[in-house]
Amino acid sequence: MSAAASDVPHFPVLRAGKEYSSLDRVELTSHRDGSVVASISQANAGLVRRDMRKLDQNTERLRAMPMAERIERCREAARIFLEDDLPIGDGVMQSADDYVVQLSSTSGLPHVMVRANMEKCAFVLAEMTTILRGLMRGMDPGVLDQGFGDHDGVPVWYTPSARALGAVLPSNSPGVHSLWIPSIALGVPLALKPGREEPWTPMRIARAMMAAGFPAEAFSLYPTDHEGAGTLLECCDRSLLFGDARVAEKYAGDPRIEIHGPGRSKVLVGADVADDWEQFMDVYVDSVARNGGRSCINASAIYIPRHGEALAEALAARLAQIEPRPHDDPAAQIAAFANPAFADMMSGAIDAGIEKGGARDVTMAARGGSARRAELGCSVYLRPTVVRCDSMEHPLANTEYMFPFTSVVEVPQERMLEVMGPSLVVSALTRDAGFLEALTTSPLISRLNVGPVPTSKVEWDQPHEGNLFEFLHERRALQRAAGW
């Protein structure tokens, strides 16, 4: 290990809450100056497998804690997460400000966006009652204390389907970690593989929850390689898997794994309101660009039956105003690329798509010809990009990239569902009852926003890509004789 690495925080492996320093470490560098900002102990696959064999030992104390107490401790953890100094590893402490600066330096997210995501995670912790009500459809969460109880007069019995929730996590945006937090409230310990560039948030949330009084053994963090990730997925009864289309395909059909692949979220403008397209500019802009366009809930395509050209031009004019700003500028709206090679790869793919014909970059003209790729200091950005595609068959018409990018395509309303493919979020701008019915019965949509609601808007009482409660607890039949 280099000398520099000994001066920076070290992320240990957390094995059921116990710190473990590996001999295999990966250094995490700042995308701004290449300096080493952390070293991360890597778990070998065998170690992950060995720990997964002992999962039963980690559930007992967590499940013994009553639901009401778990919810209360989550609320306390929210405050701790936002305010307190928390350990990373080897006794090195991290303040909330340290966290913002550190995560910004490795993810490229400006401080303002890190803070917004931090609030998201804290909200889920603080408002666990709301979250659980949404996930459990209003059932008293206390039912899980006994396993059985009553829901709207119907006797119910639930048993946990997993001894741990595994998760292979992404590095794109820290808000994504809000998805696994409820697992602890639901009484299921965690076995997480943090994203390669994002060890910060899982560790800070885990530490905050431990500090709030949750048993340490409920938290396992395994920074590891592909083999280790595969082992985690193989050994956990239930897992969340974030990955690209290739990864998603590899694990498709495994009921133990909930796949979070590309979102390919969309805004669909119905024929009934298409002539009023201008009224919804904020919806398009927020859908495409909020959180720097980094999330799977950001729209990557806008379908409209007519006025496609005008919409694309107007959207380009709005998005062209978004320029890279310094990472500590509160007005920053886009993130730098932690790995500039990805920026070049994505921009190159867009150019290649345009060169094939049938598509053009509308933002280029709106920006007065300045390039998509931008540099500020040592950071590399991609400026928001709107591509006008002549047909929905064009490869750019249904592709998502990790920056504000969207295609605008004219599609007849009756063909929209047929061509759009699986879409994590659909914001449907329509009052057409027939179209709405088709959308609500479509298996392609995970979250449907009706009316001028941006795809990027999250209501916390709604599930996100599957329902974590149902994933982790199975309802079984129970018939009890009176007095027994």
Partner 1 sequence: MTAVSNDRIEAAQAALDAHVRDIIAHHFSPETGTPVWLDYAKAAGWDPREEVRSFADLIERFDNFDGERLRTDAHEMWIPRAFAGRPFTIFETGGSTGMPKQRIGWDDYKLDYEEFSELLDDEAFPPGGYWLMVGPTGPRRLRLAIEHLANHRGSSCYFVDLDPRWVKKLISSGQGDQAKDYMRHVVDQALSILKHRKVDALFTTPRLLEALGDEISIPDAGIKGVFCGGTEMDPQNVRFLCEEILEGQVGFVPTYGNTLMGLACHKKGFEKENYSITYYAPQPRAVLRVTDPEDSRKLVDHGEWGRVELTTLTHEFFLPRFLERDAAKRIAPCEDFAWDGVAEVKPYAKNEEKIVEGVY
Query: What are the residues binding partner 1 (CB under 8 A)?
Result: 22-24, 42, 44, 46-47, 49-50, 53, 170-172, 195-196, 226, 242-244, 246-247, 339, 341-342, 402
Residue 454 CB, shortest distance to partner 1, in Å, is 21
Distance in Å from the first CA to the final CA of the chain? 64
Could you tell me the CA-to-CA distances from 206 to 14, 160, 221, 255, 350 in Å, in that order?
Answer: 10, 21, 9, 27, 38
- CA 39 to each of CA 3, 11, 85, 379, 391: distance values in angstroms, whole numbers, following the listed order: 11, 6, 19, 21, 47
Question: CA dihedral in degrees (122, 127, 131, 136; nearest 10)?
Answer: 140
Residues 291, 175: contact at Cβ < 8 Å?
yes
By the 8 A CB rule, do 103 and 198 touch? yes
Least CB distance from residue 419 to partner 1, whole Å? 25
CA distance 337 to 393: 29
Q: Which is nearer to partner 1, 135 or 235 (CB)?
A: 235
- Of 250, 255, 226, nearest in space to 238 by CA: 255
CB 429, min distance to partner 1, A: 28
Nearer to partner 1, 345 or 352 (CB): 345
3-class secondary structure, 174 = helix
Nearest approach in angstroms of CB 44 to partner 1 is 5
CB of 344 to partner 1, least distance (A): 12
Residue closer to partner 1, measured from CB, 147 or 243: 243
Give the separation between CA 243 and CA 247, rounded to whole angstroms.
Answer: 5
Cβ proximity to partner 1: between 137 and 256 the closer is 256
DSSP 8-state assignment for residue 474: E
Give CA 217 to chain center in angstroms.
Answer: 25
CB of 376 to partner 1, least distance (A): 21
Q: Which is nearer to partner 1, 126 or 343 (CB)?
A: 343
| Residue (90 or 244) nearer to partner 1, CB | 244
Q: CB of 371: closest distance to partner 1 in angstroms? A: 21
> Residue 69 or residue 244: which is nearer to partner 1 going by CB?
244
Burial 276-305 (b: 16+ CB within 10 A, else e): ebeebeebbbbbbbbbbbbbbbbbbbbbbb
CB-wise, 44 or 406, nearer to partner 1? Answer: 44
CA distance 467 to 240: 11
Q: Shortest gap between Cβ of 53 and partner 1 (angstroms)?
A: 7
Helices 96-107 and 200-211 pack at an angle, to 10 degrees, of 160
Q: Are 372 and 337 within 8 A, CB to CB?
A: no
Please say which residue, 106 or 413, places its beta carbon nearer to partner 1. Answer: 106
Q: How far is the CB of 54 from partner 1 (least distance, A)?
A: 11
Separation between Cα atoms, residue 96 and residue 228, nearest integer Å: 30
